[in-house]
Amino acid sequence: METMTLWSFILFKIVFSIIFVPLTFAQLDSNLPNFPGDLTSSFCPTTPRDDCEVEVDVPEGCESSATSKSSCPIVFFLHGANNNNNEYKCTTEVHDVKYIGVYVQGEKGWNTWPKTWNNCNWDDFDCTQDPDEVGFFIELIRFLRNKGANGNIYLVGTSNGGSLAHKLASNADQDLPIKGIVSKVFQLLRKPERSFPGMKNYNQPSQARGTWPVSVLSILGEDDRDVPYDGGYTALFNIEIDTYPYYENFRGIFELMSGLESMETWASHNKCDGSYVITNHTATVWDVERIASKYDYSNGCPSDIYLEQYVLLETRHDAKDAIIEGNPINFDITYEFIEKVEKGASIVPSIAPSESLTQAPSGSKYRNCVDQPGYEFELQFSGAMKPCSWIMENINKISVRRDNYCYENNGMDISDVGYDCQWSCDTCGASRPTPAPVSCSKLDIDINIDNSVNDNILLVKRWDPSTGKFSDRIFKRGKAKFNTPNGSYRYEIDCLYPTIECYLFLLKDVTEDGFTNGSGSFTVELDGNVLKSSTFSGAKAKNLKRQRKKFGQCA
Ligand SMILES: *[C@@H]1O[C@H](CO)[C@@H](O)[C@H](O)[C@H]1NC(C)=O
Ligand SMILES: *[C@@H]1O[C@H](CO)[C@@H](O)[C@H](O)[C@H]1NC(C)=O
Ligand SMILES: *[C@@H]1O[C@H](CO)[C@@H](O)[C@H](O)[C@H]1NC(C)=O
């Protein structure tokens, strides 16, 4: 019986690979922005995971196949606990930076601390019923490499996803070749050394084990109640055990490092000398002014390693959404970091420059096509001055650099750099093809509400035809977020598709004692047109329990 099963399994594998590998497994095609390829049906069936979903967002120029490799950086975006990968396709804008974005769905989050839905004990490493996160990502990376995606690998994770980024990086090796991580609002675990299923389930990096060096950008809130900056115990580790009628708090078993301890661990692992420079930066978190203290260890590190931590002072878990010196962490600061690591990274381009690119073409069309000698322009992030030739210096970056510097923000009009660097920018009279329009709508929510009744919840949901409900939550703000007296809050939700989908705006009062004891108002606009607007005070405000507005293509 055992043997039969094994043989049919092997036979299935052989038949499966002969039939399907050449057809569906061999390449990664590019897609339009906001429309990532869905690889769920080709990758997920071979995994034991219920919620498995894989979307791969491939910009033009990053497509690949087994024989024609791409060296665009590959960035995995890791959502927080109980969250999902839905919004990444609309928010990451990987097409602007020419990264391959991978949006993976975890099993109700990621198995980095005790979860009520686990079946085995945290120290049962052979358990096959609970998610083996590291094993999963090793398979996923192998899958992408087989499709010719050969670029450096980065992880960008929030909260539970930030915790996973530290865990995966702690097991970095030839199977899990992680170059850098951006971990938001989570530190390394101090304890335990290993947890949950898998061979490579270590929680801290180790030179003795051969963990590869990894660049780290960490963002933490000094007053985070969920993930305390000072480390130690957090209530997140206290769970209800479904199978037994009691709670287990895992105190003394699971512990967080403090923010700086986490950085020191990475510094020492990466062979940095541990010295750092602190600078203060102006920041905002949901429109509230804050200070971000930056701890930069990079000067004491080997030349291709960057280690930075931003600590948002007086800020809680929403430090993850900070805007520092006008640059949002999501994703300007994140991508600036990845660019830095890419520049320092010694990667061998897998496509050698072709002759035609290094020699000026002849022919009348190109007669006047030259770069202004001596012309220099300023780089967006570092502010360094570069000559025109820089644009073509790295064959893998030509199209990104042309997009960034040779054209105006609208992506069509030629910029000053484009005129002065005609040859490098490829703006020699040739007009640029118009990108296909993507009809993305924007929802603006403007809401004034006081904190006398702090049980209001604001939701935007999408109708899911497969469940016949508004089951797809796109946006949620509630309770703690409405925390200032008579506060004014503005939210922008990008990338809705009301021409093809149905949505619901919902403001509801959970305890049904009215929206507010005082007065308030809200306005919802879709692409600048008012969908619903209301002001309320006195008895009206106390009687309002919910406000709804359906919009889009609704049955
Ligand atoms: C940064 O700001 C904090 C809070 O105002 C202050 O305590 C700290 O000394 C400042 N650090 C530097 C390096 O300026
Ligand atoms: C608002 O009204 C409720 C009951 O109607 C009361 O319990 C609560 O204290 C009031 N809050 C304020 C800030 O007045
Ligand atoms: C609260 O905000 C509303 C709406 O903007 C405004 O009309 C009202 O005067 C404010 N109330 C107080 C007490 O500031």
Question: 123-137, 324-338, 379-393: lowest mean pLDDT where?
Answer: 379-393
Q: Where are the beta strands (DSSP E) in 159-214?
A: 178-184, 189-191
pLDDT-based confidence at residue 72 (cuts at 50, 70, 90): very high
If you take atom 14 of ligand 1, which residue's CA is the nearest one?
280
Summarised one tens digit per residue, pLDDT across range 295-345 is: 999 999 999 999 999 999 999 999 999 999 999 999 999 999 999 999 885
- CA 67 to chain CA centroid, Å, is 29
Q: How far is the CA of 281 from the centre of ligand 1 (A)?
A: 9
Whether residue 369 is predicted with pLDDT greater than 90 in this model: the reply is no
Q: Average pLDDT, stretch 67-92?
A: 93
Which of 422, 476, 543 lies closest to 87 in space, CA to CA? 476
| CB 293 less than 6 A from any atom of ligand 1 | yes
Residue 446 CA: which ligand is closest? 3
- Which of 517, 537, 543, 544 has most ligand 2 atoms within 8 Å of CB, for mutation? 517
Do strands 153-158 and 74-78 pair parallel, antiparallel, or not at all (unpaired)? parallel
pLDDT-based confidence at residue 368 (cuts at 50, 70, 90): very low
Q: pLDDT averaged over the chain? A: 84
Question: 257-266, 307-316, 456-465, 470-479: lowest mean pLDDT where?
Answer: 470-479
Q: Rounded distance, CA 294 to CA 319, Å?
A: 13
pLDDT-based confidence at residue 487 (cuts at 50, 70, 90): confident
| CB 455 less than 6 A from any atom of ligand 2 | no
- Count CA atoms within 13 Å of residue 291 on its CB side: 7
**202, β-bridge pairs:** 194
Q: How far is the CA of 296 from the centre of ligand 1 (A)?
A: 15
- Which are the contacts of 2, defined by CB distance < 8 A and separation ≥ 6? none
Tell me which H or E stretch contains 462.
Answer: strand 456-464
pLDDT of residue 47: 86
Whether residue 355 is predicted with pLDDT greater than 50 in this model: the reply is no
Q: Is-contact 334 387, C-beta < 8 A? A: no
Summarised one tens digit per residue, pLDDT across range 427-452 is: 766 443 434 444 678 899 998 876 65
Q: Rounded distance, CA 99 to CA 88, Å?
A: 13
If you take atom 14 of ligand 3, which residue's CA is the nearest one?
486
Percentage with pLDDT > 90 across the chain: 53
pLDDT of residue 46: 85
Residue 515 CA: which ligand is closest? 2
| CB 53 less than 6 A from any atom of ligand 2 | no
Tell me which H or E stretch contains 508.
Answer: strand 502-509
pLDDT of residue 443: 92
Atom of ligand 2 nearest to the CA of 450: 13
Summarised one tens digit per residue, pLDDT across range 167-208 is: 999 999 999 999 999 999 999 999 999 999 999 999 999 999
Buried b (16+ CB within 10 A) or exposed e, 46-55: eeeeeebbbb
Q: Rounded distance, CA 192 to CA 128, Å?
A: 20
Question: 101-115, 518-532, 534-548: lowest mean pLDDT where?
Answer: 534-548
Whether residue 356 is predicted with pLDDT greater than 70 in this model: the reply is no
- CA 63 to chain CA centroid, Å, is 20
Question: 4-18, 197-211, 419-433: lowest mean pLDDT where?
Answer: 4-18
**Exposed/middle/buried for residue 401 (C-beta within 10 Å: 0-12, 13-18, 19+):** buried
Whether residue 215 is predicted with pLDDT greater than 90 in this model: the reply is yes
DSSP class of 147 = T
Q: How far is the CA of 519 from the centre of ligand 3 (A)?
A: 6
Q: How far is the CA of 293 from the centre of ligand 1 (A)?
A: 7
- Which are the contacts of 393, defined by CB distance < 8 A and separation ≥ 6? none
pLDDT of residue 466: 77
pLDDT-based confidence at residue 485 (cuts at 50, 70, 90): low
pLDDT-based confidence at residue 364 (cuts at 50, 70, 90): very low
**Exposed/middle/buried for residue 8 (C-beta within 10 Å: 0-12, 13-18, 19+):** exposed
Atom of ligand 3 nearest to the CA of 535: 4
| CB 486 less than 6 A from any atom of ligand 3 | yes
Between 546 and 371, name the one with better pLDDT. Answer: 546
| CB 513 less than 6 A from any atom of ligand 2 | yes
Question: 53-67, 179-193, 287-301, 367-381: lowest mean pLDDT where?
Answer: 367-381
Q: Average pLDDT, stretch 252-275?
A: 96
Q: Average pLDDT, stretch 62-70?
A: 93
**490, β-bridge pairs:** 446
Tally of CB atoms within 10 A around 395? 16
Tally of CB atoms within 10 A around 476? 13
Tell me which H or E stretch contains 399.
Answer: helix 398-401
| CB 519 less than 6 A from any atom of ligand 3 | yes
Atom of ligand 1 nearest to the CA of 291: 2
Q: Is-contact 49 79, C-beta < 8 A? A: no
pLDDT of residue 539: 82
Q: How far is the CA of 321 from the centre of ligand 1 (A)?
A: 21
Q: How far is the CA of 225 from the centre of ligand 2 (A)?
A: 26
pLDDT-based confidence at residue 366 (cuts at 50, 70, 90): very low
| Alpha-carbon radius of gyration of the chain | 25
pLDDT of residue 29: 95
Whether residue 354 is predicted with pLDDT greater than 70 in this model: the reply is no
Q: Average pLDDT, stretch 233-239?
A: 87
| CB 523 less than 6 A from any atom of ligand 3 | no
Q: Rounded distance, CA 46 to CA 37, Å?
A: 18
Q: Rounded distance, CA 329 to CA 406, Å?
A: 25
Q: Average pLDDT, stretch 480-504?
A: 79
pLDDT of residue 329: 96
pLDDT of residue 20: 45
Tell me which H or E stretch contains 398.
Answer: helix 398-401
pLDDT-based confidence at residue 16 (cuts at 50, 70, 90): very low
Q: Is the pTM of this model over 0.85?
A: no
pLDDT of residue 315: 93
Collapsed DSSP state (helix, strand, coil) of residue 270 = coil
Q: How far is the CA of 87 from the centre of ligand 1 (A)?
A: 35
**Exposed/middle/buried for residue 459 (C-beta within 10 Å: 0-12, 13-18, 19+):** middle
Residue 519 CA: which ligand is closest? 3
